A and B are shown apart, each in its own frame.
Chain A
């Protein structure tokens, strides 16, 4: 009997412990919410005495745009290291990396060479030294930079770095070869593709650029796409082959202003194009505007378009989009009319059935007076 009581007490105790543990985990998870919450928690728990934590907190503050406070904290971190009277290599690196931009080039190189003496395997030091040499602005120092870069294990970065140097001195073809090697070594590194495209625009023809863009554009990631769309927007000709993917990239990246600018240029450009290409460009522009939920713009774009000489299938696509857009805009009677118009262009009974079903919804909405 006594033992039965004991097991009940133990069970209750452990159940309470489990609940408390769960609550503890829930509370602790909040610390991981952002970089700022995490590093502030660390810095507080280390009583603002650990340099690495402080520098990480500085990074989090910078990321949040609190530069004033970041500066104060960085100074505090530097003082901390100074007061200790003993410098660890890791901490010297932290400080050098934070302050290096303020030093003259020669001192940068000396500092980094000093770091390299301490740790000959540290590829970051090679990179820093190479950057410093490259900034000296002549080909001889650039060659030294390349020799340093070649000693890192980041072979793709080394090739891209050489590409940068050649590009910097106007040797675009040599630069292109280096970028190609970088892409071949690290096929998934989108930045090397961006550099390649940027460099090639300096000497390649429009047709060649189109080819390059087809090959590499799809591998770009949003943040690189942003750099690239900005670059392209300033450099590419008014050609739908460029403008549509650039608009799509900008849209994917959330840069709606640039998307709109590209589409405006595209619409202006369509007037010069043959009917089939004009129809495709209009449909692509309408598609991107629809994704942006800019239904009024799609409506005005397509309603004003002269579709008479477009191929029939493209006309049907445009009418169907108009029907959908009208429905989104609450113009139900007009939507029905566009569906009817679409049906005239569709021979396939299966597709006709789908369109009729859509019409049914539209008419029903009309009957209900919505």
Chain B
């Protein structure tokens, strides 16, 4: 079978499976935050195509502009009929899954994995995408309408990441012009991701990590290329602060945000170690009986109350230390572990947000599913994920 045909078949399989799994969600009702964000947010109630562009968040600001424009687009065609919104959400999810497939495939066909068999690469990419896309843990991000903000942000994030990998591959192969086009295209897509949901802000760090672990063009963080990427990062963050004037204030007023919460900053940070472990177990075993929209998650008061806090701190620290120490011998494992934690940084650290939500695993879980599948395939192909990089 030639490569193009393989890709077409894979993408068709992904889309068919996603549509089948979510076929019963088309009439799922409006819930919880759908009301303030869509039903009573009159800025998304577009009556003409021109009005779609003036959609904004429920409090009148613009930080999640792309997501709210997509709601306005749905409102223009479907008003309160949920079917149109669900169809859009499912299509977005299918598109993200296809991008997961493409990104995994591009990664496993990098020169550093040249010894891995073509069939193994294809199967690992296909199963990573399918198992991630079909995981019940993502039903919150797909079936709960307003959580399109998460899936759409992930779509832009993955597209930007895909364009970055593609561009860098072209550059490494000597096609500088093509490479620059792809990498440049990744920048506005990244900004769209940030303008959909703020948790995607960490993408440049991951690009930097990818560069360091798989492409080895950045050998140390004082490298000129690293400096270029850091500059790009700074531009992105300045852009964010410009489009969201409250962003800086929010960061400086973190302690004020905790006055409204039942937990303190320290308690939240401690609890998040347990939340990370819970997320990992949900990704590994997403049985519907374990899923919940609103977890009544006990707060960690100190390292020993409950005692699982200490174990969780040890586990998270251990995995991070492992990722750092094994970055040369097991670059894939290191990258996947860091992808999970870096993508959780915004929502699962110091900001005074709710403790736990399943949709927060949407983007971070990509790497965990990928890593588990690679580990399985390593039983058949020992070269996968361990080969030392050509220096």
Contacts and interface: CB of A to CB of B under 8 A. Distances in A.
Interface stretch (A47-55, A306-314, A346-354): A47-55
Across the A-B interface, give the 3 residue pairs with the lowest CB-CB distance, nearest first: A24-B136, A188-B42, A50-B296
Interface of B: 17, 20-25, 27-29, 31-32, 42-43, 45, 47, 51, 59-60, 119-120, 123, 127, 130-131, 134-136, 138-139, 143-144, 259-260, 262, 286-288, 291-296, 373, 376-377, 379-381
Contact of A25 (B21, B43, B296, B376): B21
B262 A90 contact: yes
Contacts of B260: 89-90, 119, 122
B143 A32 contact: yes
A18 interface: yes
A284 B21 CA distance: 46
A46 B134 contact: no
Contacts of B136: 21, 24-25, 27-28
B288 A28 contact: yes
Contacts of A186: 42-43
B259 A28 contact: no
A14 B29 contact: no
Contacts of A119: 259-260
Contacts of B286: 21, 24
A190 B75 CA distance: 15
Given A11-B127, A17-B127, A46-B295, 5 more contacts: A14-B123, A31-B291, A32-B29, A35-B31, A50-B294
22 contacts: A6-B379, A7-B119, A11-B127, A14-B123, A14-B376, A23-B21, A24-B135, A24-B288, A25-B134, A28-B143, A29-B28, A32-B28, A32-B143, A35-B31, A45-B292, A46-B292, A53-B294, A56-B32, A119-B259, A153-B60, A188-B45, A189-B42
B139 A32 contact: yes
A119 B376 CA distance: 52
Contact of A18 (B25, B27, B127): B127
Contacts of B131: 14, 17-18, 21
Contacts of B130: 18, 21
A18 B22 CA distance: 14
A44 to B, nearest CB: 9
A34 B27 CA distance: 9
A82 B230 CA distance: 52
A119 B51 CA distance: 35
A29 B42 contact: no
Contacts of B24: 26, 29-30
A13 B143 CA distance: 27
B380 A3 contact: yes
Nearest to A8: B380
A140 interface: no
Contacts of A53: 294, 296
A10 interface: yes
Contacts of A27: 136, 288
B380 A88 contact: no
